[in-house]
């Protein structure tokens, strides 16, 4: 972990909403690529930002690339929290990926934001990551 924030890992589709959000955070981040052939390893605790892609019933909410990333037990063990994204127009499936990952990986859903987020979302996530980073540093051996 560098500085006072945990490592940030994210997935963004071709629409680029999540990428735009992460770029505006001004924090170094690791992007899960569209192709699962070259997924980078993350050797320290991290927070995952994941958009939701679901049908009307919630199927397919977590992108396949993120599932593949989290299927590695060592990477999954370093996950400390998740931030879900989505579109509020989709009602109950808004940011569903974050809730699914939090439940399956037994980590907290730290936040959710819509599309590319607002300036308030940027501020809240940045502050939340700094707070989490201080907590992680104080519990490290």
Give per-residue pLDDT as tens, 9-66: 999 988 889 999 999 999 999 999 988 777 778 889 999 999 998 787 788 899 999 9
Phi first, then psi, for residue 7 (nearest 5°) are: -60, 145
34 vs 120, residue with greater confidence = 120
Q: What is the pLDDT of residue 63?
A: 94
Local confidence band at 4 (pLDDT 50, 70, 90 cut-offs): low
Please determine, for residue 69, whether its predicted confidence score (pLDDT) is greater than 60: yes
3-state secondary structure of 127: helix
Q: pTM of the full predicted structure?
A: 0.89
Domains of the chain as residue ranges with CATH? 7-128 (3.40.50.360)
Dist CA 116 CA 60 (whole Å): 20
Please determine, for residue 104, whether its predicted confidence score (pLDDT) is greater than 70: yes
Structural tokens at position 36 = 């699962």
Least Cα distance to 108 among 127, 132, 133, 80 occurs for 80
Q: What is the mean pLDDT of the chain?
A: 88
Q: What is the pLDDT of residue 137?
A: 56
Rg (CA), the chain: 14
């Amino acid at each position: 972990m560098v500085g006072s924030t945990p490592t940030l890992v994210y997935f963004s589709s071709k629409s680029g909403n999540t990428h735009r959000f992460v770029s505006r955070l001004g924090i170094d981040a690791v992007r899960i690529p569209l192709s699962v052939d070259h997924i980078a390893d993350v050797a320290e605790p991290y927070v995952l930002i994941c958009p939701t892609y679901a049908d009307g019933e919630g199927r397919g909410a977590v992108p396949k690339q993120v599932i593949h990333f989290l299927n590695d037990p060592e990477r999954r063990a370093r996950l400390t929290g998740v931030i879900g994204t989505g579109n509020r127009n989709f009602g109950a499936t808004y940011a569903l990926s974050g809730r699914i990952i939090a439940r399956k990986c037994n980590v907290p859903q730290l936040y959710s934001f819509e599309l590319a987020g607002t300036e308030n979302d940027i501020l809240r996530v940045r502050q939340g990551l700094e707070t989490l980073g201080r907590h992680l540093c104080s519990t490290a051996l």
